[in-house]
Amino acid sequence: MKKINVIGLGNILFGDEGFGVEAVRRLEKECSGFPDSVQFIDGGTQGIYLLDYIESADVLLIYDAIIPSEFNRQVYVYRNDELPAFIHRKMSSHQMGLSELLSVARLHDRVPGEIVLIGVPPRELGLGSGISPAVEGLLGDAVEKGKKILGSFISD
């Protein structure tokens, strides 16, 4: 059975930056019947400490607040080579971003066979503001997309 790690990235203290963490929390609640090979991780802003979760997975599903160049208010899904170059964004110069983590995994020759990134453009990044209504409205769609993706990997 494939080891699937679902990681929510982001800082819940900065409004929509917490989208990834909130999405994984909701997905975990709705997927209680999934096998033990699926692990849900609140990755927050842990940086390098997430490397083992990345390198140990056969499949990696990541939720994050992202800013695609199109910037439409919608849920974006990227797979493997479609991962955009802008995933290097981070909230602190001391934090290792997703792009760097994937690069280290490549150096170790331990990149998951499948990587999927689900994200939305943040609307509000104010301190202590919580998820904005615009992003809250996209959470259900993001969770549903994640459930379908996970279901397809589990049934393989």
| Domain coordinates in residue numbering, the chain | 4-155
DSSP letter for 58, please.
S
The region that residue 69 occupies, defined by phi over 0 for left and psi between -120 and 50 for alpha, beta otherwise, is: alpha
Supply the pLDDT for residue 84: 64
Supply the pLDDT for residue 68: 64
Report pTM.
0.89
Structure tokens at 95: 């934090």
Supply the pLDDT for residue 151: 92
Supply the pLDDT for residue 95: 46
Supply the pLDDT for residue 85: 59
The answer for residues whose C-beta is within 8 angstroms of residue 120's C-beta and 6 or more apart is: 16, 19, 65, 66, 73, 74, 75, 76, 135, 138, 142
Domain 4-155 maps to which CATH number in 3.40.1390.10, 3.20.20.140, 3.40.50.920, 3.40.50.1450?
3.40.50.1450
Supply the pLDDT for residue 118: 94
| Tens digit of each residue's pLDDT, the chain (156 residues) | 899 999 999 999 999 999 999 999 999 999 888 899 999 999 988 888 999 999 999 999 999 988 765 678 899 999 988 876 555 444 444 346 787 888 899 999 999 999 999 999 888 888 887 899 999 999 999 999 999 999 999 887
